[in-house]
């Protein structure tokens, strides 16, 4: 097995904190873009917000995630980053560990496709813009509703500041 990523092994708590802050910042930006009428850009940002949250959860549970040595190597090499192509499997594993994230990952991936393909029939899960906007807003609310509880052991004043900014954006949406 290749060497483990030092940032994860030596600075796990800092990595989790950074990804939680990233999730909140991407969420706030998604809502700002949505207010300006940029639904596809907003969808991209809310997807990145969710991806950062899943990465933080995966790192928080890094010892529990792999079921065998092959998976262990993958999680320590790149799986902790929650790559888009592995997002569904990571979420399914987190679901097995008790986190109710799989259905939200499905929504995030639908929004990811919308961000790249627009409403192009056969390449988008949405038939009109308003469907995507409703999912963007719902995913943003779900992230804000759950992030504090999921990461209560890592919560500090810095994360709280980013949370308040994101919360302000969702209130004004």
With respect to residue 52, please indicate whether it lies within any of the assigned structural domains.
Answer: yes
Per-residue pLDDT reduced to its tens digit, 128-145: 999 999 999 999 999 999
Domain carrying residue 83: 6-171
User: Do the Cβ atoms of 48 and 26 come closer than 8 Å?
Assistant: yes
- Residue 5, pLDDT > 60, answer no
Per-residue pLDDT reduced to its tens digit, 16-45: 999 999 999 999 999 999 999 999 999 999
Q: Angle CA(118)–CA(124)–CA(127) in degrees, nearest 5?
A: 85
- Residue 65, pLDDT > 80, answer yes
Q: Kindly report the pTM of this predicted structure.
A: 0.94
Q: How many domains does the chain have?
A: 1
Q: Which residues of 81-120 are buried (b: 16+ CB within 10 A; e: fewer)?
A: bbeeebbeebbebbeeeebebeebbebbbbbbbbbeeebe
Band (173; pLDDT cuts 50, 70, 90) = confident
User: Do the Cβ atoms of 8 and 56 come closer than 8 Å?
Assistant: no
Structure tokens that stand for 134 in this block: 């409703």
Per-residue pLDDT reduced to its tens digit, 99-138: 999 999 999 999 999 999 999 988 999 999 999 999 999 9
With respect to residue 100, please indicate whether it lies within any of the assigned structural domains.
Answer: yes
Provide the mean pLDDT of the chain: 94
Element (H, E) at 135: helix 129-150
With respect to residue 1, please indicate whether it lies within any of the assigned structural domains.
Answer: no
pLDDT at 122: 87
Band (7; pLDDT cuts 50, 70, 90) = low
Residue 57 exposure: Cα atoms within 13 Å on the Cβ side: 29
The neighbour count for residue 167, using CB atoms within 10 Å, is: 15
């Amino acid at each position: 097995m290749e060497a483990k990523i030092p940032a994860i092994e030596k600075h796990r708590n800092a990595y989790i904190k950074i990804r939680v802050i990233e999730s909140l910042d991407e969420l706030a930006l998604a809502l700002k873009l949505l207010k300006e009428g940029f639904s596809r850009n907003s969808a991209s940002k809310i997807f990145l917000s969710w991806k950062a949250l899943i990465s933080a959860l995966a790192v928080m549970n890094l010892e529990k995630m792999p079921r065998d040595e092959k998976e262990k190597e993958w999680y320590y090499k790149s799986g902790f980053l929650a790559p888009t192509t592995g997002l569904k499997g990571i979420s399914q594993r987190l679901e097995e560990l008790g986190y109710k994230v799989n259905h939200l990952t499905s929504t995030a991936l639908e929004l990811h496709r919308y961000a790249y393909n627009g409403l192009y029939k056969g390449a988008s899960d949405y038939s009109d813009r308003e469907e995507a906007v409703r999912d963007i807003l719902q995913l943003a609310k779900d992230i804000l509703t759950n992030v504090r509880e999921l990461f209560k052991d890592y919560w500090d004043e810095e994360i709280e500041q980013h949370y308040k900014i994101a919360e302000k954006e969702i209130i004004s949406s």
